[in-house]
Chain A
Amino acid sequence: MTVTRRKILALGAGTLAFANLTSLPAFASVVEDQIAAVTGGAAVQDGGITLTAPEIAENGNTVPVEVLAEGAVAITILATGNPSPEVATFRFGALNPTRRASTRIRLAKTQDVIAIAEMADGTFRKAQSVVKVTIGGCGG
Chain B
Amino acid sequence: MSLIDALARMEAAATGAARPLATVRHRHLAARPLVLVPLTTAGETGAPLGAMLGTDRAAPELFTVPQPRDRDLRFTFLERLAEALLPHLESCQDEVEFVERKETDPDTGKRVTVQAELCTDAPQVLVPTGPGIDVVRLLGRSMRFRRTAEEDPEAPHPAPPRVPLLGRWLTHYAERARVPGSSLLLSMTDLLTRHWATGQSRLEDQHLGALLAWIAPPDGIPGAEAARRAELARDEHGQLLVPPAGPATDPAFDNRLLAPALARHDKGVPGAAEEVHELIASQLRPTWEAMWQGVDLLRSLPEGAHTADRWRRDRQSYTHHRDRLRSAEPPQPRRDDAVTAARKLAMREQRQAELDAQEALDDPLVMAVRRLAGEAFAARAAHVEPAVSEGKRPTPRPLVTVRAEEHDRPLLAEGDAVYRALPEGGGQRAEVVGAPEPGVYVLRLVNGMGRGKEPAPGTVPEPGDRDCWTLFEHAPRGGPALPEPEETPWTHGGPPPEATAEPPDPTTPEDLL
Q: Do A and B bind each other?
A: no
List chain B positions with a Cβ less than 8 A from chain A.
Answer: none
List chain A positions with a Cβ less than 8 A from chain B.
Answer: none
